[in-house]
Amino acid sequence: MGAGFRIMSAPQHRPETLVHSASLPGHRVEFGREAPLVLDSRAELGPFTMAYQTYGRLDEDRANAVLVCHALTGDQFVAETHPVTGKPGWWETMVGPGKPIDTDRFFVICVNVLGACMGTTGPRDVNPATGRPYGLSFPVITVADMVRAQKLLIDHLGIEKLFCVTGGSMGGMQVLQWAASHPDRVFAAVPIATGARHSAQNIAFHEVGRQAIMADPDWCHGDYVAQGRNPRRGLAVARMAAHITYLSEAALHQKFGRNLQDRTRVTYGFEADFQVESYLRYQGSSFVDRFDANSYLYLTRAMDYFDLAAEHGGVLANAFRGTPVRFCLVSFTGDWLFPTSESREIVHSLNAVAANVSFVEIESDKGHDAFLLEEPEFAKTLSGFLKGSAAHRGLR
């Protein structure tokens, strides 16, 4: 994601493969060697690696841990310069010393999700059983599987109860799944700009992205890593289409209008005449340097499959019956990917079981990406909720 306004030509350096994840900074642990992880699909995965990053210090009671769940194309580098792109961490607006998720106070953990490509095992990695990259033989992952894997790590870190689990978009889905699957392990949950299920429209957008990747001859039916190729064009188009859904018409209009790119008149051709085209091309081409095409297929699929109510007899409230978790839901007025109505539906279900819930809608025309950007009202909300929850939890 990241909607920073940069208009640049495509980078010249085009590595055929991504930075090898073993060279990335941060922590990693291996799981599933003795007993494999059983996934929703009934497939078994193991051994596998979880790559994660932490900020701040875990207190003696191990009570101050905040698990941040990243979105579709995010990763564990929440609050530090990204080792691949050199850009600021994706949530430095919210996480850091003195920030709402204050690393002077909280111990922040962010885990690269299962199926991703920043160190946690995903389709790009070598299947130990065959000695070849998994490719499409990697099992389909669900949001619940991501949470299963994260729970292994939280157990491994000796954290009995997370003070808070938070995240936006796909991260918010993980937050809801955590609260539903492990209500005794989560004190407070902050699902942001998310929904309890992926809508038909959102599945449709994802399908466009997947088809773009699969239409690229370099995709090689998912076997491109073994064949030394990379479906850059397909992945770039997928990213371009998705990026539009992260913004809003107002944001696009304000940023670009119909402004032309480095020219005074249209060229009567198909170059990037308009700034908005140039911007999207840049977003697409820079994305492929840090993301794996098959990971994109798997993670979009995980979001599409997410339907928390379906797991609970079709009644979302059943997912939260008797929950002790304190919830704070946040939506943004300009978000058309996960509009406020999606959050409100979750709120209604939480009310139906008399759960402890706060819900704010933040006025913003920045689209879905608003949760990643400077939004003072959002920061105040998150900060206030966490302070109130910390007081209830008896944190220092």
Partner 1 sequence: MSAAVDVRPPPRAAQPLRRDLALIAEMIPSASRVLDVGCGDGALLEHLVHERGVDGRGIELSQAGVNACVARGLSVIQGDADTDLKDYPSDAFDVAVLSQTLQATRAPRKVLGQLVRIGRRAIVSFPNFGHWRVRWRLLHDGRMPTTASLPDAWYDTPNIHLCTILDFEDLAAELGLTIERALVLDSYGTAKALGSMRLANWFGEQCIMLLRRG
For residue 30, count other CB atoms closer than 10 A to its CB: 11
Per-residue CA distances from 206 to 181, 186, 198, 203, 332 (Å): 26, 30, 10, 5, 21
Under rule CB under 8 A, residue 19 binds partner 1: no
Under rule CB under 8 A, residue 394 binds partner 1: yes
Would you call 221 a catalytic residue per the annotation?
Answer: no
Under rule CB under 8 A, residue 28 binds partner 1: no
Give the residue, chosen from 160, 249, 262, 271, that forms a contact with partner 1 under the rule CB under 8 A: 160
User: 229 or 393, CB closer to partner 1?
Assistant: 393
Q: Tokens representing 19?
A: 């930075």
Give the residue, chosen from 121, 285, 358, 364, that forms a contact with partner 1 under the rule CB under 8 A: 358
Under rule CB under 8 A, residue 290 binds partner 1: no
Under rule CB under 8 A, residue 101 binds partner 1: no
The CB-of-359 to partner 1 minimum distance in angstroms stands at: 4
The CB-of-94 to partner 1 minimum distance in angstroms stands at: 14
- Cα torsion at 345, 151, 72, 17 (round to 10°)? -170
Query: Are 77 and 53 in contact, with CB atoms under 8 Å apart?
Result: yes
Under rule CB under 8 A, how many of the chain's residues touch partner 1? Answer: 36
Q: Alpha-carbon distance 304 to 330, whole Å?
A: 21
User: 253 or 392, CB closer to partner 1?
Assistant: 392
Binding letters toward partner 1, positions 49-68, x by CB under 8 A: ------------xxx-----
User: Which residues are within 8 A (CB) of 314 and not within 5 positions of it... i.e. 6 or more apart?
Assistant: none
Give the residue, chosen from 164, 362, 370, 372, that forms a contact with partner 1 under the rule CB under 8 A: 362
Q: Tokens representing 349?
A: 């279900």
Alpha-carbon torsion (194, 197, 46, 158), positive or negative = positive
Per-residue CA distances from 163 to 57, 173, 182, 382 (Å): 13, 18, 13, 14
Q: Which residues are catalytic?
A: 169, 335, 368
**Residues lying near partner 1 in the complex (CB under 8 A):** 61-63, 160-161, 187, 326, 328, 347-348, 351-354, 356-363, 377, 380-381, 383-385, 387-389, 391-395
